[in-house]
Amino acid sequence: MNKVFSVLKMELISYFSLNEYRRRKKSSRFFLIFGLLIGALYISGYNVLTAVSLVRMGQMDAILAYMLAVASVAVFLFTFFQFNDFVFNRRDFEKLSVLPLTSREIVLAKQAFLYLLMLGLSLIFVLPAGLVWLHSSGQVVIFLVYLILLFFLPMIPIFMAAMAGLVIARISVKVRYKNAFTLILSLLLLGLFVGLNVFSAQEINLINFSFYLSQALSKIYPLALLFLDLKHFFLASLVFILLSLAASLLGTRLLGRFYGKMDEWLGQEVRTSRHHKRQLHSPFVALYQKELGSFLHSSTYMLNAGLGVFFLIFLAFGLLFVNPAQVAGRFGLEKIGGFLPLLVSASFALACPAASSLSLEGENHSLLQTMPLSMRQIVGAKLSITLSLHFFAYLLVVPIFLWRFPLTGLESLTLLLLPLVYSFFTAAQGMYLNLLFPRFDWDSEVVIIKQSKAALLSGLLGLLSVIFPVLLAGLTGLSLPLSLWLTAIVLFLAVGFIYHRLSAIRFLEK
């Protein structure tokens, strides 16, 4: 077990960059902690409001089951998107294979790391709503058992995500473009999961709410149905604990069995004919192709930098088979036309590969100094990846929205133009922040994509740019379309200013 704890400690230090934490500037540490706190407060606040709403509807006993289901789904999604890059990482495999460790010990350490990470996430989801339930019911004993269940909650979702990741990894090794195939397969699975729960919604009222809730729980996470009837809470808790332990043990056994084979699988390459005439391109096109290749060859990069866009595409294609009025009713929006431009813009604002594209060069960033490239070409190529991602989604989504929703002339014009402004603003601010706060000394690209100062600030700025027009409309009494156009003017001016600043930066001299 000492070896397992040593590997676990190494994983924690590497993932959270603990060795570098003290060496970071105070401002960098502040933004990191601030971003984590904002995320935790947002999730906790949302779940508290949900729990309070259930109490007011007379469905207090459903709080525990509902929150267990929501937390389990969140654990599954978070684990699913990073499982293969974390567990079946070939570079990581090569480092660990030289150590006196068995496959079982490596898998145990990695599972323990995922468990601790997801336990913290579960706590954010479940504990605040549980306190609302305790305050309303006063049943301390059940609440204490509920807290014990928290320690077992991540096990089954981690097992499910691990099995899905194992299957995807095994299938994808036979495909030439492994990462693109992994991304598509992952998104199809996720889209199927989300679609079953979003587009199957029915109109809710107080009379059929209890029935609807049980139906929703059965689709989201069937095990949560065990806790709908608190009369059998203790028996349900025992069954849940036994199933969780069984899933964890089975997952460890299966992953330990296949972990050693994964290096062989990952080393397999599909040999295809590559006898084609090599074309010459301009420096900009060559650099753009290089950036596009880096983006497409990293499923972690694609999933995290483009997740909002991919969800938007799934939503748009779902509207081809579902009545738009049903979707509007699902989210409580009578006039959804005014929110569609903001929805598309928000997806673009939260999808910014440019915020980490420079840092992902790593030690290879010095090679840029030897290339006959101007600053304008380097910045333009990296900006173009973000713009291309947004434009691809724009061409797919906007025509579907215009066709499926009855929009006014102003709403249609806003839907056509506002996302373009947000796209240019997102790409520009992400690139500018990455130039201001580059980081080339990293061991895992996950650190750059998720935890770097530039990525966190870019995500925060994108979120604020989406919230601003809503607050402007609410505080001043302006209509939402007018506040969106005022925001668009501000962002358009900001794009010009930021690009001027980009042209003045000489990061290669650092």
> H helices of 57-177, where?
63-87, 90-97, 103-137, 140-150, 155-172
Query: Do 354 and 247 have their domain in common?
Result: no
Task: Kindly state whether residue 463 falls inside one of the protein's structural domains.
Answer: yes
Does residue 106 surpass a pLDDT of 60? yes
Query: Do 71 and 213 have their domain in common?
Result: yes
Share of the chain above pLDDT 90, in %: 21
Query: Do 5 and 124 have their domain in common?
Result: yes
Cβ-proximal residues to 26 (8 Å cutoff; 6+ apart), any chain: none
Query: Do 132 and 90 have their domain in common?
Result: yes
The answer to whether 354 touches 434, Cβ cutoff 8 Å, is yes
Query: Do 253 and 301 have their domain in common?
Result: no
Query: Do 64 and 134 have their domain in common?
Result: yes
Task: Kindly state whether residue 273 falls inside one of the protein's structural domains.
Answer: no
The answer to whether 65 touches 50, Cβ cutoff 8 Å, is no
Task: Kindly state whether residue 275 falls inside one of the protein's structural domains.
Answer: no
User: Hey, what amino acid is at 44?
Assistant: S
What local confidence, expressed as pLDDT, does residue 425 receive? 96
Query: Do 324 and 428 have their domain in common?
Result: yes
Does residue 94 surpass a pLDDT of 70? no
Query: Do 425 and 497 have their domain in common?
Result: yes
Q: Which segment of 40-44, 250-254, 271-275, 483-487 scores lowest on mean pLDDT? A: 271-275
Task: Kindly state whether residue 276 falls inside one of the protein's structural domains.
Answer: no
Task: Kindly state whether residue 230 falls inside one of the protein's structural domains.
Answer: yes
Q: What is the domain extent for residue 355?
A: 291-509
The answer to whether 493 touches 465, Cβ cutoff 8 Å, is no
Would residue 204 be called left, alpha or beta, if left means φ above 0 and alpha means ψ between -120 and 50 degrees? beta
Query: Do 298 and 217 have their domain in common?
Result: no
Whole-angstrom distance, CA of residue 149 vs CA of residue 235:
12
Query: Do 330 and 299 have their domain in common?
Result: yes
Task: Kindly state whether residue 104 falls inside one of the protein's structural domains.
Answer: yes
pLDDT averaged over the chain?
78
Does residue 350 surpass a pLDDT of 80? yes
Name the range with the highest mean pLDDT among 144-158, 183-197, 354-368: 144-158
Whole-angstrom distance, CA of residue 268 vs CA of residue 262:
10
The answer to whether 351 touches 308, Cβ cutoff 8 Å, is yes
Domain boundary among 214, 237, 268: 268
Does residue 148 surpass a pLDDT of 60? yes
Task: Kindly state whether residue 432 falls inside one of the protein's structural domains.
Answer: yes
What local confidence, expressed as pLDDT, does residue 269 receive? 46
Q: What is the pLDDT of residues 408-434, one digit of tens each?
A: 888 899 999 999 999 999 999 999 998
- Number of folded domains that form the chain: 2
Query: Do 144 and 200 have their domain in common?
Result: yes
Query: Do 241 and 316 have their domain in common?
Result: no
